[in-house]
Amino acid sequence: MAELNISYNTMVQDSEMVDGNATVQGSEMVNGNEMVEANVMVHGNEMVGANAMVHGNEEMAQGNGMVHGNNDMVQGGEMIHDNEIIHGNEMVSVDVMVHGNELVNVEVTTPTTLRRRRKKSLVWEHFTIEAMPGGCSRACCNLCKQTFAYSSGSKIAGTSHLKRHITLGSCPMLKSEDRKLQLTSVPGTDNEGEGTAERPRPAKRRYNYTGYANTTFDQDRSCSYLAKMIILHDYPLHIVQQQAFTAFIESLQPRFRVVDVDAIEGEVYSVYQKERENLLQAFNTMPGRISLIIGLWTTSQTLGYVSVAGQFIDTDWKLHRRMLNFMMVSSPHSENALSEAISASLADWNMKDRLFTITLDNDCSSHDIYSANLRDYLSNKNTLMLKGQLFVVRCYAHILNAVAQDVIASIHGIIYNIRESIKFIKASPVREEKFAEIALQLEIPSTKTLCLDVTTQWNTTYLMLLAALDYRQAFTTLETCDDNYNEAPSAEDWKKLEAACNYLKLLYDSAHSIMAAANPTSNIFFHEAWKLQLELSNAIAHEDPVFSTIAKDMHERFDKYWKDCNLVLAIAVVMDPRFKMKLIEFSYSKIYGVEAAKYVKVVDDAVHELYKEYIAQPLPLTPAFLEQGEANKTAPTGENNAQVTPPSTGDGLLDFDMYLSEIAVSQTTKCELEQYLEEALTPRIQEFDILDWWKLNTLKFPTLSKMARDILAIPMSMVSSGSSIFSAAATGSRILDDYRSSLRPETVEAIFCAKDWLQYAPAVPEAPSTALVKVET
């Protein structure tokens, strides 16, 4: 240990000592390489505190302090150990660094409850102080050896520029992302034992330099994000108990306390409640009515669930679909269960007087039971528009799937042979090469690839059969060349397969047209339905009995859908300014021939009757429209009220104003519906947006636009955007897995509903990555 050397050139005045260029106020003294602050003096590897002093390896006790070597120092009730001070029951970090005989930085934080403690800078693990001529010093990076200004005599440059060098990637040796974003000091010894008599020593603080601002740790916020992750990705609640997951979380944030299953279940329900309040506020400003989509879910137990979703158009003329409820019922396929579930959902969301239609995903056999029961049950509590004629809507995707499955079932034996044939060819590369050679010799021009189908998705079966049809000759030739292959369809089978693919193409193209629509408003479904109805009607009279037989079975099922839903489909397309009643007249003449006028009149009468109901039974104004309604009170717009000419502006045309008033009284003003139907059709352009058109014409047709808003929001298909319309699970009864069936019903509802709502929640903005933040962990 170096000798303690005190200069004789030191001058003391009023507790002030000055040596060289250094001045120390109060109890501070700086002498050469020595510095005393807060009654502590450091010299080389020596520390002197109050009445205790260390010299060499000698021990000296004075007053209440005792120091041994350069490790520990006790002063009064304080103890200094390895640059740490234990004061009372606290440990205070001492920012002291000594390099050789040079003083680098000394910061001793006096323990106090009123002053925030300073933290030791981490940069000194990466920098070394080098003395320069003239009493200056520079900080040298230990990795890249670049030097930076640190002190010039008595002035200290600070460490901010040094932090930037090691954390923002300026150092060429720290280019890797993991070291650039996270430079963490090694934690000190941590005693986490519980129940021991000895008081555990607090672990050394660990600091993390990141590139994000405002990254203070928040346990509650992290729990909320964990719950959202579980909801959105269908993770089980007991993931919080899995060892690998808890180890992963510990590696990211040791301070995060992973909650148990009960706590995370409560957090999931909290997320559900918060999102539900947000949706309720949106419903408070909804200007029109709501249409419901009802789904059925079964379980391996005797219980089942009913899902209730709502579709509506908001004040900005945007189409929305949101899950409302997911309720457990004892018998989901009973009509009473559906009626009660719908009624309870309307009450929960304050929509009792706003129900417009419901769309069911049930099969044909039970449809009439559902329709009659629901009409009778709900008509007592709600005013159904148009006497309930539009109330029950059948899912268009469901009817396409049902008809397609009928076609596939009619040729299931042939499909089996095709599957087995493809399996045989794909079994080995040798067989694939042999089949390719046969196709090349036969000069088959097809570029389609043989592949197996997914039995639950009929579109894949159609594509498999379509490819097989192109290689029919190759299959027949292979059977004659290979004795092991005997699954080739016969000539009659290929004919049936061709007929089936011919009609499956109609369903396939229709489904793709629906899926391609960005906004699946109700008006687009009429185009597909009437074309399909016409094709199947004509196919019944096909000269080939193979074709006509398949078409007859398809038409029988689809015709029932057409009779049930053609009115609501037609009214929806009338609300399209590109077609109006003209497309109804044209399409019905194709379908019904000489009887078309009778069916056209049914649609025309229904449109006018519905319009009259909107005049007589307007919805109560929502808060967003109250102000607009008050402003319009002075200008009545009733159908029987003539427009009042404003008073003269003093231009000398008072007689002209009187003339206009007389004309307005004598002439009968046409209603909005008549004006709309008589106007020329809007040009059919590819970029046409029907919702945008009605938004722009709301002032021109204030009442008719309300009617159009509700009609265009009718969900003709229960399949939402982004879902597969070809999957049977998308439209029929779905099965709830055993895990979710084991959860409490309210938890199942919270998970299903919150997952749907979180998809539309605004994205969390990313934090800026340029600010340097020191996070204590």
3-state helix, strand, coil in the chain (%, to 5): 45, 15, 40
Cα–Cα distance for residue pair 355/345, rounded to 1 Å: 11
In a domain, 649, yes or no: no
Place of tokens 């027949």: 476
**pLDDT at residue 515 is higher than 60:** yes
Q: Which pLDDT score is estimated for 603? A: 97
Residue 605, judged by CB atoms within 10 A of its CB (0-12, 13-18, 19+), counts as exposed
Q: How far apart are CA 452 and CA 450, in angstroms?
A: 7
Containing structural domain, residue 584: 517-617+682-717
Instruction: Assess whether 457 and 367 both reside in one domain.
Output: no
One domain for residues 699 and 594 = yes
Confidence of residue 362 (pLDDT cuts 50, 70, 90): low
pLDDT attached to residue 340: 83
Distance CA(240)–CA(235), nearest Å, equals: 10
Residue 3 vs residue 724, higher pLDDT: 724
Contact 717, 520 (CB under 8 A): yes
Residues 547, 448, single domain; the answer is: no
Q: Is residue 576 part of a domain?
A: yes
Task: Judge if 286 and 378 occupy the same domain.
Answer: yes
Q: Do residues 18 and 11 lie in contact, with contact meaning Cβ atoms separated by under 8 Å?
A: yes
Q: Are residues 408 and 467 in the same domain?
A: yes
pLDDT for 364 beyond 60: no
Q: Does the pLDDT of residue 50 top 50, yes or no?
A: no
3-state secondary structure of 457: strand
Query: Cβ neighbours of residue 523 under 8 Å, at least 6 residues apart?
Result: 572, 573, 575, 576, 690, 712
| Beta strands per DSSP E along 126-277 | 127-131, 136-141, 147-152, 155-156, 207-210
Does residue 612 lie within any of the structural domains? yes
What's the confidence (pLDDT) of residue 184? 42
Q: What is the pLDDT of residues 204-245, one digit of tens each?
A: 444 444 444 446 889 999 999 999 999 999 999 999 999 999
406 and 356 belong to one structural domain? no
Q: What value does the mean pLDDT take over residues 335-347? A: 84
Question: Cβ distance 117 to 109 under 8 Å?
Answer: yes
Q: How many domains does the chain have?
A: 4
Q: Residue 516 to residues 66, 411, 524: CA-CA distances in angstroms?
A: 84, 29, 11
Q: How many CB atoms lie within 10 A of CB 280?
A: 12
Nearest alpha-carbon partner for 475 in 465, 466, 484, 485: 485
CATH code for position 735 = 3.30.420
Q: Report if residue 349 sits inside a domain.
A: yes
Q: Give me the mean pLDDT over the 661-686 stretch.
A: 82
| 405 and 389 housed in the same domain | no
Judge if 561 and 694 occupy the same domain. Answer: yes
Task: Please check the confidence at residue 383 and state whether its pLDDT lies above 60.
Answer: yes
Q: Count Cβ atoms within 10 A of the Cβ of residue 130 and give its class: 0-12 exposed, 13-18 middle, 19 or more buried.
A: middle
Query: Is residue 566 included in any domain, yes or no?
Result: yes
Q: Give the domain-ending residue among 472, 500, 528.
A: 500
- pLDDT for 162 equals 80
Q: Is the pLDDT of residue 681 over 90?
A: yes
> Residue 374: pLDDT band by 50, 70, 90 thresholds?
low
Sign of CA dihedral 346, 351, 352, 356: negative
Q: What percent of the chain has pLDDT over 70?
A: 67
Q: 459, 475, 500 — which closes off a domain?
A: 500
Q: How far is CA 3 from the centre of its chain?
A: 70
Residue 634 lies in a domain: no
Q: Which of 299-308, 333-342, 518-527 has the lowest mean pLDDT?
A: 333-342
Instruction: Give me the residues paired with residue 12 across strands.
Output: 17
pLDDT number for residue 774: 42
Contact 295, 395 (CB under 8 A): no
* pLDDT for position 3: 44
Whether 185 maps to a domain, the answer reads no
Contact 367, 393 (CB under 8 A): no
Cα 79 to Cα 69: distance, rounded to the nearest angstrom? 14
Q: Looking at residue 111, what is its pLDDT?
A: 45
Residues 586 and 462 in one domain: no
The CA radius of gyration of the chain, in Å to the nearest whole number, is: 41
Residues 733 and 712 occupy one common structural domain: no
User: Are residues 702 and 596 part of one domain?
Assistant: yes
Q: In terms of domains, do 433 and 481 share one?
A: yes
Q: Are 211 and 163 in contact (CB under 8 A)?
A: no
Q: Residue 377's pLDDT band (boundaries 50, 70, 90)?
A: low
Give residue-wise pLDDT tens across range 603-617.
999 999 999 999 987
Q: How would residue 123 be classed by pLDDT, with cut points 50, 70 and 90? A: confident
Q: Which residue has the tokens 């049902």?
A: 402
Which pair of tokens denotes residue 765?
A: 């903005």
Of 500, 535, 559, the residue at which a domain comes to its end is: 500
Average pLDDT, the chain: 76
**Is 472 a member of any domain?**
yes
Burial 187-222 (b: 16+ CB within 10 A, else e): eeeeeeeeeeeeeeeeebebbbbbbeeeeeeeeeeb
